[in-house]
Amino acid sequence: MSRFYRKRNKAAGLPPGTPIYIGSGEDLPARITIIDYGPDDFQQKEAACAEDCFFYKDTPTVTWINIDGLRDVSLIEKIGKAFHLHPLVQEDIVNTYQRPKLEDYRDYFFIVLKMLEYDEEKQHLGAEQVSLILGPNYVISFQEKIGDIFDPVRNRIKEAKGRIREKGADYLAYSLIDAVVDNYFTILEKLGDRIEGMEEELTSNPHEELLHRIYGSKRELIFLRKSVWPLREVVNLLQRGESPLVSESTGIYFRDAYDHTIQVIDTVETFRDMVSGVMDIYLSIISNRMNEVMKVLTIIATIFIPISFIAGIYGMNFSHMPELTWRWGYPAVWLLIIAIIVGMVVFFRRKKWI
């Protein structure tokens, strides 16, 4: 449940801008990786301490500093100080219950993204916060856990694949955001399979368990939606290219990422429509089943109750019941019973119940 709302500083009452780690990341020491590159240079190293990064702030080459693990708040504060990050930015980096957003601090952009993971067993979406600082010639990325989502970008830089080595920090930021968005499509595919499974079950034999799966899908879609809608605004701001931090030629790439974001949103909305369609059909099928059950009951009861009554009549012990002694009394009763059965069957046929 807690993933649905922002956690407050437990030690409420602290002044705003006081960074305190709030999240569910594992308690590991932070890992700092520095990648520094230009069209012809490439250098990658692990930093032992925060101070190792400061040097790269003013180099003309593009520098990507990646920090995995946010529990060491003092580290974040040191980096924040060196790169002149606003105290509120430092606070938001370590409070991992932010919604995706872009904040323009003139000298740098502060971007918050949500990386999603789909736990197929529990059919549950988890979110990890990824924060980016996009400066004139550096990008700092903060992740809660050590992940592999940025590996393809790292490889592209290393192997100088595509245009990434010739482009600036804005293109690097684009590559990272694109990797996150790309990941959403994987999740959508899995959710799509799940919905397809529900659709198929509808036509075979729907059980009450389907109901809980429908509700589960709804929840995950609500959660997904919460992460994706604000992203649209983030990428839109980047695409518009009104800041000197994003060059015009990179703006075209952000436009592409924007297009992808819209596709993600579109698909989420489509899935919502479909899930609610599945729900409606499920309910109708239940109604139909009930109807069928009732019909069987009614047909049986309506045929047998009257004829049982007739049998009951001639089970009475009155001394004076002339029919009982008639020679053809018994066969006549059978005839009557058969007539009633036939009449009822005709009646139900007319009503199209059988």
Long-range contacts of the stretch 210-214 (C-beta < 8 A, 24+): 210/282, 211/282, 213/123, 214/275, 214/278, 214/279, 214/282
CB of 48 to its own copies, least distance (A): 29
CB of 139 to its own copies, least distance (A): 16
Strands 62-68 and 138-143: parallel
CB of 60 to its own copies, least distance (A): 23
Between helix 169-203 and helix 208-239 the angle, nearest 10°, is 160
Residues 6+ apart with CB under 8 A from 46: 31, 32, 33, 34
Question: Could you tell me if residue 62 is left (phi over 0), alpha (psi between -120 and 50 degrees) or otherwise beta?
Answer: beta
CB of 34 to its own copies, least distance (A): 21
Which is closer to its own copies, CB of 54 or CB of 229? 229
CA–CA distance, 23 with 144 (Å, rounded to integer)? 8
Pick one of 300, 336, 338, 342: the residue that binds its own copies (CB under 8 A). Answer: 300
Which is closer to its own copies, CB of 32 or CB of 129? 129
Q: Binders of its own copies among 255-284, rule CB under 8 A?
A: 255-256, 259-260, 262-263, 266-267, 270-271, 273-274, 277-284
Pick one of 5, 46, 60, 120: the residue that binds its own copies (CB under 8 A). Answer: 5
CA–CA distance, 87 with 289 (Å, rounded to integer)? 62
Pick one of 162, 335, 338, 346: the residue that binds its own copies (CB under 8 A). Answer: 162
For the sheet with 31-37, list strands across it.
42-47, 31-37, 62-68, 138-143, 124-134, 109-119, 101-104
Which is closer to its own copies, CB of 55 or CB of 197? 197
Binding string, 315-354, against its own copies, x = CB under 8 A? xxxxxxx-xxxxx-xx--x-----------------xxx-
> What's the token pair of residue 285?
């099928």
How many residues sit in the footprint of its own copies (CB under 8 A)?
121
Is residue 311 within the footprint of its own copies (CB under 8 A)?
yes
Q: Binders of its own copies among 166-225, rule CB under 8 A?
A: 175, 178, 182, 185-186, 188-189, 192-193, 195-196, 202-203, 205, 208, 211-212, 214-215, 218-219, 222
Is residue 29 within the footprint of its own copies (CB under 8 A)?
no
Q: What backbone phi and psi angles, to 5 degrees, belong to 16?
A: -60, 145
Q: Binders of its own copies among 42-71, rule CB under 8 A?
A: none
CA–CA distance, 317 with 176 (Å, rounded to integer)? 94
